[in-house]
Structure 1
Amino acid sequence: IGNIFAGAFSAPAAFGGLAGGTVAITIRSGLARGTYSNEAGMGTSPIAYAAAVTDFPARQALWGMLEVFISTFVMCFTSGLLVTTSGVYQKISADKAASMPAVAFQELYGTFLGGTFMTVIIILFVLSTLLAMVFFGEKQVEYICGTKISKLARYVYMLMILVGAFGSLGFTISILDITLALLVIINMLGVIMLTGDAVKESDRFFEHLKNNEK
């Protein structure tokens, strides 16, 4: 844990010793990676939550908050501990950071067992993510442009999958930073406008819980 904080707030040579700039870049990168992991503020997860059958929207929103905690703090923190305690972060350059967990598992559990374990995990995570992203994108286009055009969005997403698969990690992350930042900005405007409705639904839900306790 100490190494994580020391690495986050130190000034490597790449930044010319400018600690302030390093901290700013660290915070920006951390916020971006955290947003990618849980999609908080992006407006995509609510598409899935809206399909759930629930008596109170606020109850489903609480599950969404729990999802943010698990995916960001538990999963990302665990991955950070994995690559730190194994020492892999010292052996692999930052531009190949995506391979660090896989290498760490291979060093701890052997090439076959560790590699097989990570391969299965990555396939399941990637497959579920791709299916969800294509569904979310299609529903967004459907809401704006109608059903016929939304079906074309599937092919656009498939094309983007190929771009991400064959493009470099740095290029892919740069594209994500730009496009998802625009998505978050647009969605946050809607969230701010709906703040009053969210407060009313939360009050109604917690009032229901209080009455049931009595």
Structure 2
Amino acid sequence: MDDITVRARRARGTRRSVSTPSSDQGEVAVPRVRSGSIPVSGRKGRWLEKKNAIVKAASRLFSERGFNYVSLDDVAEQLGIGKPVIYYYFESKEQILFECYSLAFDVGDEVMRTALALEGDARTRLEYYLREYLLAHLRGEAPLVPMHDILALSEPLRGIIERRRRNRRDRLRKLIAAGQEDGSLGPCDPRVAVSAWGGASAWVIGSFDPRKGLSPEETAEYMVGLFLNGLLPRKVAK
């Protein structure tokens, strides 16, 4: 068990509850449960399992074909269920897309909260976030939907997701800036670094196939190594 993992477990243990971002922080408070984060049983547990199964199946199809080229019939066929079953959990295909984005941000935000609670320098926190964010997606724990499909959402729903995206972006920028201040990261423009990470990670996650080549863990290590090596302080030649 590496040192960063130990620190992360300690950080998680100090949090007794996780709050949903509120509107005064630039977010809209939308109660949500991350799959697997809260133990549930009985009828409620089965309901959540089936709902999350629909979200994951839909997210895979949206990622492969694009939102506009996937029907609810396609999702139902993927799961081997009738379309009326989907309407029991969701009112529309748009609601499923919104749920895909929301759950993905829930997972990423939880990783970010844990990272920021870690002891140590900013590089330690950044490394933890990058690795765990990638692993959550590569292992299928977070739905995957390309951000360009956000245009298919109505303006109110799109606004919620856009605010969450900007909030995540700003947190990453501040974390990189903090690393420059404490000397754990080298000089760079945090805006460019975060944009580079967003594009590269989306490409790696979208093209990842566990049947071909590296495991999720190996892929995450390579990706984090490539990214961090470009941010580490540079030695000045004498």
Regarding TM over 0.5, the answer is no
Which is helix-richer, 1 or 2? 1
TM category (shorter chain) comes to: 0.3 to 0.5
Structure exhibiting the larger radius of gyration computed from Cα positions = 1
TM-score normalised by L of structure 2: 0.32
